[in-house]
Amino acid sequence: MLSRRTFMKAAAAAPLLRAQPASRPNILFVIADDWGHNHAGAYGATWLKTPSFDRVAREGVLFTHCFTSNPKCSPSRATILTGRNSWQLKEAVDHFSIFPSEYPVYPKLLEEAGYFAGYTGKGWGPGDFKSTGWEHNPAGRDFHGRTLQPPYNGISNKDYAANFELFLEQRPKDAPFCFWLGTHEPHRAYEQGSGVRAGRRPGDVKVPAYLPDNRITRSDMLDYALEVEWFDTHVGRALAALEKRGELDNTLVLVTSDHGMPFPRVKGQIYEDGFHIPMAVRWGANIPRGRVVEDIINARDFAPTFLEAAGLPIPRTMTGRGFIDVLRASKSGVVDASRSVMLIGKERHDLGRPHDWGYPVRAIRTGEYLYVRNFEPGRWPAGNPETGYRNCDDGPTKQAILSGFDEYYRMSFGKRPSEELYALKGDPECLKNLAADLNYARVKRELREKMEHMLREEGDPRLTGNAQFFETIQYTGPRKHSYDTWLRNRK
């Protein structure tokens, strides 16, 4: 495992970067679909290889405390685009929703300022943006013309890096660009057993304690690792395309994910591994390199950061904070002490409960604690058992857990208390709920009060007397897993 000293020493030994003008930089945003926060070599992982992400971190800044405010594809990506927490986005708080038209998105703002903007792969979604008047995906105009033969089943045939080059070929001369490169990997489904067949060793995998440590889980995680590595190859090819054109050092490159890995108790769930995401930024000589920053960064901070880098004003609709000052600081560790807290939450993700109900949660995360408020503890957090726990992606690990009615089932699919509290430094996997421990009563009360105050300031309907709004949001996706469908089939 790489220590911080080893990482920074390697960064210092890298070739010096040529200074480029910082005005009107290019912006390359690279986002994986379901990539866990500590699954990269730069974070010490040895059971999967991410040389391209590690390079971005080594030649730029590695962030250890970057989070999304909602651990599901659509709401997380809406947060990134608009610079707002998901409960501030009306219908876009949900998975498979509409995308409201009243919130400006950073690609459009940059385009209006003279940037050439586009995207490939997965932009905002899944959901409906057309009915609200968007001409194209809020991530930009699509560039999807180039394909390839994927090495494994489950991997998309979209050649993301080649489509980025297609975008660069069509860019007007001297125009700065803004590009969203979104892969579909490592989203499920996977080619089962592909990791083992590719020569990866099950014994190398680091299995989190909330999943059963057995052959099935380890093989499943190796299949996931192959897709993480596929994502990383496209990061490398995109960097090479910029190097070939002499534009890498004047491009702000941000590489991240939308939320945690697609495994039980992670994706879509309000635990650390669900909303904690990897993130590294490279910007040539415009920022000191080789640093490891511990400030809490919210995904809603990305949009104002991009606009700030381009010298554009930040719309009043954006509630995130740009972190150019953090990027340009000369030290590692905590750079801005005010970045010490953030909020997380969700309403409805996928179907699987009566009346299409969601599982409303709000949480607050500080440097030491995660406090979670489950507003409807009588509901099943991952969806009802009879509909197949549809808020958890299907896969071998899920099926194995469901075959044994044990502690792993309870942690992934069982009902939860109204309050949860975790001391993260000693319990990063959120295994020991301290909410009922009298020794932590004061901590719990202070965090709950702080969270509620912050949410009211943000106008969260859940805290301002209009929670019923969330139950009225229309689901725009396929309904084959709805509770009503289950009832009809049962009859």
What pLDDT score does 485 carry? 85
Q: String of b and e for 39-55 (b: at least 16 CB within 10 Å)?
A: bbbbbebebbbbebbbb
Distance CA 480, CA 464 (A): 34
Q: pLDDT tens-digit profile of 157-190?
A: 999 999 999 999 999 999 999 999 999 999 999 9
Q: What does the pLDDT read at residue 473?
A: 96
Cα separation of 413 and 340, whole Å?
31
**Reported confidence tier of residue 10, pLDDT bands at 50, 70, 90:** very low
Average pLDDT for residues 29-52, to the nearest whole number?
98
CB atoms under 10 Å from CB of 298, counted, come to 26
Give the whole-angstrom CA distance, residue 91 versus residue 202: 42
Q: What is the mean pLDDT of the chain?
A: 94
Query: Which pLDDT score, from 0 to 100, does residue 481 have?
Result: 82
- Rounded distance, CA 129 to CA 443, Å? 42
Residues of the chain with CATH 3.40.720.10: 24-339
Confidence of residue 19 (pLDDT cuts 50, 70, 90): very low
What confidence tens digit (pLDDT) does each residue in 58-93 have?
A: 999 999 999 999 999 999 999 999 999 999 999 999
For 353-410, the pLDDT digits (tens) are 999 999 999 999 999 999 999 999 999 999 999 999 999 999 999 999 999 889 999 9
Portion of the chain with pLDDT greater than 70, in percent: 96
Region of poorest pLDDT, from 3-12, 26-35, 288-297, 321-330: 3-12
Which residues touch 240 (CB under 8 Å, ≥6 apart)?
none
Residue 215 has pLDDT above 60, yes or no: yes
Q: Which of 24-38, 75-89, 185-199, 471-485 has the lowest mean pLDDT?
A: 471-485
Check whether 15 has a pLDDT greater than 80: no
pTM of the model: 0.94
At 416-456, the pLDDT tens digits run 999 999 999 999 999 999 999 999 999 999 999 999 999 99
Torsion of CA 284, 289, 294, 295, to 10 degrees: -40
- CATH topology (fold) of 24-339: Alkaline Phosphatase, subunit A (3.40.720)
